[in-house]
Structure 1
Amino acid sequence: MPALLPETTTPVESALPESALEGLGTRPFGVYVHVPFCATRCGYCDFNTYTAGELDSDSSPQSWLEGLKREFDLAARVLKAPPAVDTVFVGGGTPSLLGADGLRSVLDAVRDTFGLAPDAEVTTESNPESTSPEFFAGIRDAGYNRISLGMQSAARHVLKILDRVHTAGRPVAAAEEARAAGFDHVNLDVIYGTPGERTEDLQASLDAVLAAGVDHVSAYALIVEEGTALARRIRRGELPAPDDDVLAADYEMIDRVLASAGLRWYEVSNWSTSEEARCRHNIGYWRGGDWWGAGPGAHSHVGGVRWWNVKHPARYAASLAAGKSPAAGRELLTDEDRHLERVMLELRLSEGLPLDALDDDGRAEARAAAAEGLLDQSALDGQGRAVLTDRGRLLADGLVRRLT
């Protein structure tokens, strides 16, 4: 387990150790902004989100934005000489509920505190139902250059099980509106393995994705999280649990269909039409970069120190209004922790993991995995890299345990 740091070292004022600040700016640096607001709660979602009925006046978008600006001021003091931001990702929740003006204010706050690198990637997630041509034009003008839309499925009955409220055809229309507004980079999120989803339902979703003409797709197997409405329905026997064999077959189908249309995998759950279309912000996570996560429940990482904020928007805003850090906890990653995370994350990338990142036992396991068809033998021999095969992608989690 990572070493927990004393509460007194939670990032306030100048609390990050000098060792964490060494090299700041030489590694990719991103900013993640968590928007905790949603119009409704999806049955499968366990993210830190709140509907209007779950919050009081102390948890308004305005108080959240004021807290966000105060946290950025804190970041400037903690980082001492904050580098220009390479990537921004506004996630949630439902950032598009802020509207174009609200999202402009968010990006202006990032720009005022850190500055943006000339080629910065700036992404916001959006729910298709809370977007419009005017919305996309407004955020494009504000400086956003990448959109991620939550589609999940094109089948009405699947959306109903997931408690998604958008109409089945709206994500495709939203993607087309985003492209018309000048967004070259548009992602659609897909969830597969929902109880009741048939092969033809997944095919219809993939057909819709391709019809939308997007340059990036993220596809995630449904995970039943404890405490969600979906978990309760499965526990009561109203719905079957996702089947691992079905999930594997679905994944293979997704990869086959997307590859045939020119979308190639670059991370186990992500496909793009080109290297330029890849999500640079997420690549920063996978390659151990630095980022400041702002907002309720957001996580940060700088130079081997990781911390996370309190979850409730009212407590978050109140802490910052009182001049206190919103951090709820913090840990210092050991060399062993960082090694494990490097193997776990880089192995999921299409270029794989350098063999010299493994110890002797790990390299022996890599050779054994290649003999079993889980790693690409030619990449292992020729480039000295552990690269997942198609079969290896299905078994990546277990392979990580073997290599570490």
Structure 2
Amino acid sequence: MTQAEQFTDTLVLPYLNHAVRMYEASYASRGDIDAAMRFGCGYPKGPLTTLDELGLDTVRDALAARYAETGDHLHQPADLLEKLVAEGRTGAKSGRGFYTWAEGAVVADDETPSADDAPQLRHEITSVGVVGTGTMASGIVEVFAKAGYDVVYVGRGEDKVAGVRASIEKSLDKAIARGKLEEAEKAAVLGRLTGATERSALAGVDLVVEAIAEDLEIKKQLFRDLDAICKPGAILATTTSSLPIAECAAVTERPADVIGMHFFNPATIMKLVEVVTTELTGAEVDETVRALCAKVGKVAVSCGDRAGFIVNALLFPYLNDAVTLLESGVADVVELDAAVKEGTGFPMGPFTLLDVVGNDVSLAIQKELFAEFKEPGFKPAASLEQAVAEGRLGRKTGAGFLTY
């Protein structure tokens, strides 16, 4: 095994094992786990498909060897992995693993959703509200307006509201320059926008998506306001990537109407939306939001309300492991990034990705995962803590693990 292959195995095997445990716990379907990592991270294949192609027995043996070496619970082969191997379900080569295979391709089986299962709009959605004026909020406004929805967006001041419209105009002009949009379509999209500085402007919308600061108390106050302002039956959604949605729902008189719609940045380009339900989210609300995602050209995946949802819960422990591997001194940042890209086909190496996301954001998410799952291996790496303490947050500050 080459050194590059060793680096890749060190980082990727625990990620694959964690995906098995996520599926084993019935937190998300196999298809949603795989789609989340493909459309949320740009990975060429999802983790469960990757396992089937590598061979479940091969991965199990490699994990067992690492577990014997490290004693780290995260390297211990998942119980389901052991079970499937014992049953002879070793993946594509045996015709059955997490999926069913024939002639090298996945074929339908009893877990494959049928066309009849496609979600339907159980609530009428004609107008959408968006709270927030940052990059994510502006992107979400554009997504809905392009899809034909009237959008009311609310900011803290006229300058912020004007900034959203200017950002969308700039985006539309770029699309026109690339031949992907006509001037008439631009005018139509802009005609669907209504900016406001008061939340009361949201009284008549059918769905509100909030994209404000990632601070639980600030979000809870917003949901109190939305509960008082919005009409009965309006769906209240949050784009939070890490905060408990149930706590936002709990401050309202309509917890069945509260749901997570975790868009990925930039919202106009990234296809994935994690649709996150609490124990109290209504089934028709869940189905409506999934159907709405499809109508606006997004891929919806379903999961429950816990730290990290699907993508962050699988991605950030892998990134944290990369920092820990760097600390061991086996290679530098550039070598590790290159090895992982070459060995996995991932669009970027772990350190480039950390710098793109922002090391402060990455650290905050990793802390949330460590607090919820109590896994010793999820403890934020010391070098990640140090980078944030020194203000090396990534591309946005000009320096992170790499220099820009």
Structures share fold, TM-score greater than 0.5: no
Report the TM-score, using the length of structure 1 for normalisation: 0.28
Tell me the TM-score normalised to structure 2 length.
0.28
Determine which structure has greater relative contact order: mean sequence separation of CA pairs < 8 Å that are 6+ residues apart, divided by chain length. 1
